Amino acid sequence: MVQNSKTKYLTMKSLALLGWATCQVSTNAFLIPKTTYNTCTSRRTSAFTFSTSKQSSTLSKDDAPANNSAASRYSGAGVASVDMNKYNLQIEQIASEWTANVHAQTSMQEGGVYLGAKSRKELFVDTLQFEVKRAGGLGIQLLELAGGREDGLGITIVSGLVEGGNAEGCGIIEGDSIVQLTVLSKGASSGMNGSVLSETEERTSVSTECLGYDATIDSILSLPDLASEDETVMVTVKRLRRMPKVTLNLQYPPSQNEPDVTIELFAGENLRRAMLTRGVKLNDALSRRFDSGGIGDCGSEGTCATCVVSVSKGMDLLNTMNTQEQQMLAKNPNWRLACRAIVGSGMKEGDITIKVNPRQWDD
């Protein structure tokens, strides 16, 4: 039975969760009263339900690079060249946007319950990793947005970091949801004569994705006791971010008597596909195919050049040309094949101005 969500906090620095195995104080002594923290209290969900999906819009936690956007590596925009924190959300919006989705198993992801964004057309879930010293505890406060289920499922997010705690300044922020903790223990293996052969790194992981507060704490408590003072924890979090946007200004040849058009695209969108789905006229009926010399529409194979556009502004917001495109357009360096152009390169935002059907322009 689904219950009303609870506001629960834990100062991990004070508990025996990630290091202090000898702590004898009751856990309840470290639950901060609701009155001491107001953020999100008006946004807590009163019930928790799951939606189903055949495909996941999030990334596997195993794919997350340390301190960098995992999502950008898997989008057409390529590896992020900007500080992705500029796309972070305000905590009030985060609390209302987190949701949990049941996903069937695919070749890319195991079946299970994964975090997602309610506004999937505007937001995305990024995966980040941060290495934090374990001795003394992490110093992370947790807030349960949804839970109370017998199976332990729910949504728990970071509500704050303890001043002076190990996690302070590491990059974890309010609104993140911890999905995995991995204990990293370094040790040396010895040869027959006692010499050190190599330094090894032992890993013990627990998953906390889409768990309520109590189940999250139970998972953390299952980690092995602190083995050494230099032991660290790799904290994998998921973070809600808005999708970077690019404003595209389209200009048609004067002979066509078409008004200029301005459309908004998301970083990672294919230029030709995005324009066609928005009803923009693109193919040049008078152009000759680069590959065969005949006429015809673009087949999105990057060989005919019938979808070519001239970029007047914002060339740096498009992906780099491949060798074939460079050779095809060598005489017109400002041209791009729309079927091969990806907007928002490097997850950047900005304005792009292009001339449609450049062969019909006088300049």
- Give the tens place of pLDDT for each residue, 325-338: 999 899 999 999 99
Neighbours of 208 (CB within 10 A): 21
Return the pLDDT at 170.
95
- Give the tens place of pLDDT for each residue, 286-307: 555 444 444 455 555 555 777 8
Integer Cα distance of 339 and 332 in angstroms: 17
pLDDT bucket at 203, cuts 50 / 70 / 90: confident
Return the pLDDT at 96.
94
Lowest mean pLDDT among 108-112, 180-184, 284-288: 284-288
- Give the tens place of pLDDT for each residue, 215-264: 999 999 899 999 888 899 999 999 999 999 999 999 999 988 889 999 99
Nearest Cα to Cα of residue 94 among 39, 147, 142: 39
Q: Is the pLDDT of residue 196 over 60?
A: no
Return the pLDDT at 71.
59
Q: Which domains does the chain have, with CATH numbers?
A: 83-242 (2.30.42.10), 245-360 (3.10.20.30)
Return the pLDDT at 118.
95
The fraction of the chain above a pLDDT of 70, given in percent, is 69
Q: Is the pLDDT of residue 60 over 80?
A: no
Read off φ and ψ for residue 28, nearest 5 degrees. Answer: -60, -25
Q: What is the pTM of this model?
A: 0.75
Question: How far, CA to CA in Å, does 162 sit from each of 25, 173, 283?
Answer: 18, 12, 58
Mean pLDDT of the chain: 76
Give the CA angle between residues 313, 83, 270 to the nearest 5°. 45
pLDDT bucket at 69, cuts 50 / 70 / 90: low
